[in-house]
Amino acid sequence: MNIRPVPFDHPDAVKLNDQVQLEYAERYGDEGDLTPLDPSMFEPPLGRYLLAYDEWERATATGGWRTQNENTEGYSDGDAELKRMYVIPEARGLGLARRILAGLEDDARAAGRIRMVLETGTMQPEAIALYVSSGYEPCTKFGLYRNDPLSRCFAKPL
């Protein structure tokens, strides 16, 4: 697998983002994640977006981080927020999410961020298992879904 940075609006990133949105809608019975995202949020040094490609140059996994600082949605100064972690179904179980996560943590740390935060939901037990096994711990809820009973927030010092 080859993991490389791409813009958030790269055609392969858009394709995988559409796929993860469909999966969110399937799991939660709604229209997906409504968090407003703009490609500029993932441009260094404010963020980074990664794609994994297989040997046939097929995009198989994705994830990004964006800068957050203290605000009314519950973020803290120095936060890097993980967004759009996704692995296509046929590539699951290969460790791609863990590799993308490690790359994003390294990049956020190098950009001076001090904590990685993420929001996921109870209908994504695989995601929760990945984050907990990677050292993330439950934290005070933040973001658009902070009042949703299905939402779970996690953080890890960088």
The share of the chain scoring above pLDDT 70, in percent, equals 100
What letter does residue 42 receive in the DSSP assignment? G
pTM of structure: 0.95
**pLDDT value for 27:** 94
Give the integer Cα–Cα distance in Å for 28 and 13. 22
Token readout for 113 is 């961020």
- d(CA 103, CA 30) in angstroms, rounded, equals 30
Mean pLDDT of the chain: 96
Residue recorded with tokens 């409504």: 34
pLDDT at residue 1 in the model? 87
Higher pLDDT, 109 or 33: 109
| Overall number of domains in the chain | 1
3-state secondary structure of 83: strand
Q: How much is the pLDDT for 31?
A: 80
Query: How buried is residue 63: exposed, middle or buried, by Cβ count under 10 Å (0-12/13-18/19+)?
Result: buried
CATH code: domain of residue 120: 3.40.630.30
Q: Are 32 and 82 in contact (CB under 8 A)?
A: no
Q: Which domain holds residue 46?
A: 2-157
* Dihedral sign from CA coordinates of 98, 103, 109, 115: negative
- 51's torsion region: left (phi>0), alpha (psi -120 to 50) or beta? beta
Looking up tokens 């010092």 gives 157
Q: What pLDDT, on a 0 to 100 scale, did the predictor assign at position 30?
A: 84
Residues 78/37, Cβ–Cβ less than 8 Å: no
Kindly state the average pLDDT of the residues 12-34: 92
Q: What is the 3-state secondary structure (H, E, C) of 44-76?
A: CCCEEEEEEECCCCCEEEEEEEEEECCCCCCCC
